[in-house]
Amino acid sequence: MPRPILAYINQAALAHNLSITRRYAPHARITAVIKANAYGHGLMQTADALKSTDGFALLELEAAINLRDAGYNNLPILLLEGFFSTHELALFEKYRLSTVIHHEEQIEMLANCKQRGLNVFLKINTGMNRLGFEPKCLPTLLERLSANPAIAGITVMSHFATADEVSHNNNFMRQLQLFDKTTRINPKLPHSLANSAAIIRYPETHRDWVRPGLMLYGASPFSDQSATEIGLIPAMMLTSKIIAIQHLKQGDQVGYGCNFQADKPMRIGIVACGYADGYPRHAPTGTPVLINNQRCRLVGRVSMDMLTVDITEATDVQLNNPVILWGKGLPVEEIAHYAGTVSYELLCAVSTRVKLVVEQVPAE
């Protein structure tokens, strides 16, 4: 028997979440964001489940090439940070990859290149202050790019900093207004603005291409609206088993740092899942773990390969019983909340030693 930790990937749930995305943005084309190994869900099985999308977006050139080699020949594939050297430009042409352009250096590389037929997404910085050109540069940029024989098509894009936070609505509105004011000079160019949060909350951002990531994986980007309320189904279920049971006396302690002490006789289940698997080390005592459909609480520190759960009340729980760390019945958002992070980080952090198993079950 191998170590029992597994991440089940439900392809029907991925396909379902894509159809929900279409329902939210019926007039836009969808570029499904599958960066970071499809948010930890596995690139190929995710691409397969999402094959009715209108395009894919990611950051890793090698993964983009792997998609083409696997037979995804007709969908646009967008590289969200674009190319990093002139050498890469040849690969963009060869594999017909679209590129984000966010920096002057990239325009200079394009100015002298031999490549042709490149589709570019010109990124405007409307307030995220991470990537993108200043809005006032847009007219000059469009002039230079339109005169460049390497370039076949231009889409103008931007990215929101706060579409997921109601309390920052003003900031969101400022970004959107700046984008619209900036792009008014050339109203024919297609736009791409919306991430998951904007797709769900702000239909006015949908435009020509939406860029959903998190929602495709069945997690909610909001703290005040659950995935179920949005209509999404979690695509990943992280599971393991109880590999040992300890009986504590009052006053006994558990794990590194002895930071949990039993205030009564307790039964502790040892689960084969730790931070080297991607479970957050900062998840505190009290973080829920699902065993036999009962919510038990994590106690003590998460260690590299194991975590410890209070099963004193769950009297039916036995050695080798399956454990759900997150997934069906226990949203990853909830674990992220306990650990002081976001579901994005937990999904991406599932490590390579956790086998991803494609689950052949309906999304229900």
Q: Which stretch binds ligand PLP (CB under 6 A): 60-68, 177-185, 211-219, 233-241?
A: 211-219
Q: Which is nearer to ligand PLP, 22 or 211 (CB)?
A: 211
Q: Which stretch binds ligand PLP (CB under 6 A): 91-99, 171-179, 208-216, 301-309?
A: 208-216
Which residues in the 307-336 window bind ligand PLP by CB under 6 A?
A: none
Those residues with Cβ within 8 angstroms of residue 71's Cβ, 6 or more apart along the chain or in another chain: none
Which residues in the 331-360 window bind ligand PLP by CB under 6 A?
A: none
CB 35 within 8 A of CB 213: yes
80 forms part of the interface with ligand PLP (CB under 6 A)? yes
291 closest CA partner among 256, 239, 332 = 239
207 forms part of the interface with ligand PLP (CB under 6 A)? no
Which residues in the 153-172 window bind ligand PLP by CB under 6 A?
A: 159
- 108-137 in b/e burial notation, b at 16+ Cβ within 10 A? ebbeebebeebbbbbbbbbbbeebbbebeb
Q: Which is nearer to ligand PLP, 17 or 240 (CB)?
A: 17
CB 43 within 8 A of CB 5: no
Which residues in the 179-198 window bind ligand PLP by CB under 6 A?
A: 195-196
- List residues with catalytic annotation: 35, 256
At closest approach, how far in Å is the CB of 57 from ligand PLP?
7
76 forms part of the interface with ligand PLP (CB under 6 A)? no
Nearest residue (beta carbon) to ligand PLP: 213
110 forms part of the interface with ligand PLP (CB under 6 A)? no
At closest approach, how far in Å is the CB of 212 from ligand PLP?
5
Those residues with Cβ within 8 angstroms of residue 143's Cβ, 6 or more apart along the chain or in another chain: none
Site string for ligand PLP, 216-255 (x = CB under 6 A): -----x----------------------------------
CA angle in degrees (0–180, nearest 5) for 193-156-100: 90
CA distances from residue 97 to 85, 103, 212, 312 in whole angstroms, order as listed = 15, 18, 19, 55
Residue type, 355: K
Report the C-alpha dihedral over residues 67, 72, 77, 81, rounded to 10 degrees.
0
Residue type, 105: E
Size of the site for ligand PLP (CB under 6 A): 11
What is the three-class DSSP state of 79? Answer: strand
Distance from C-alpha of 86 to C-alpha of 14, rounded to nearest angstrom: 36
211 forms part of the interface with ligand PLP (CB under 6 A)? yes
Q: CB burial class (10 A; 0-12, 13-18, 19+) of residue 276?
A: middle
At closest approach, how far in Å is the CB of 149 from ligand PLP?
27
40 forms part of the interface with ligand PLP (CB under 6 A)? no
Q: Which is nearer to ligand PLP, 80 or 336 (CB)?
A: 80
* DSSP designation for 168: G
Q: Which is nearer to ligand PLP, 30 or 302 (CB)?
A: 30
213 forms part of the interface with ligand PLP (CB under 6 A)? yes
Positions that interact with ligand PLP (CB under 6 A): 33, 35, 80, 159, 195-196, 211-214, 221
